[in-house]
Structure 1
């Protein structure tokens, strides 16, 4: 059974898969060649999670308020 394509995974799926990879690597019972493949997949999964988080960050908006405290709309979140 082949692994799901990392580039199409949701954040949650990528995190679960990354946790599985880390668990296998930490167990120390994986042969060297498989460890290398797992490490490479883990790096791809980490990058996918970072991409999905960045996308979510960019969608976050702050509510702008008028002088009397009423919401007037949204503005992009200031990246700090």
Structure 2
């Protein structure tokens, strides 16, 4: 995660892996309990944005996944969108 005083990369530009790595760092810092209150609030808010980014990227990936359909003989005949349970 960026040190205080440096520019943080916009969450909207981050890959899933980048956002997840930074989110894990934020969780670790908050769990240590050594972060001042104001900084805790700021990194918690960034963590929430990172979480939302990861969830959005996962939804996009799930929408692109397809399952193979089989014909009566059990042979692949095509694909159809994967049924993703709605929240």
Alpha-carbon displacement from aligned partner over 1:27-61 (angstroms, at most 9, x marks no partner): 11111111010000000000001001100110110
What residue in structure 2 maps to residue 2 of structure 1?
A: 7
Q: Distance in 2 between matches of 1:43 and 1:16?
A: 13
Quick check: 1:14 aligned with 2:42? no
In structure 2, stretches of 5+ residues that fail to align are 1-5
CA-atom RMSD in angstroms:
0.8
Q: TM-score, normalised by structure 1?
A: 0.95
Q: Distance in 2 between matches of 1:56 and 1:8?
A: 16
Matches within 5 A, 1:15-54: 15-54=20-59
Higher relative contact order (CA 8 A, sep 6+): 1
Structure ranking higher in helix proportion: 1
Which one of the candidate residues 34, 41, 61 is aligned to 1:56? Answer: 61
Q: Which aligned runs of 4 or more in structure 1 are off by greater than 6 angstroms?
A: none
Residues of 2 paired with 1:68 and 1:2: CA distance?
A: 59
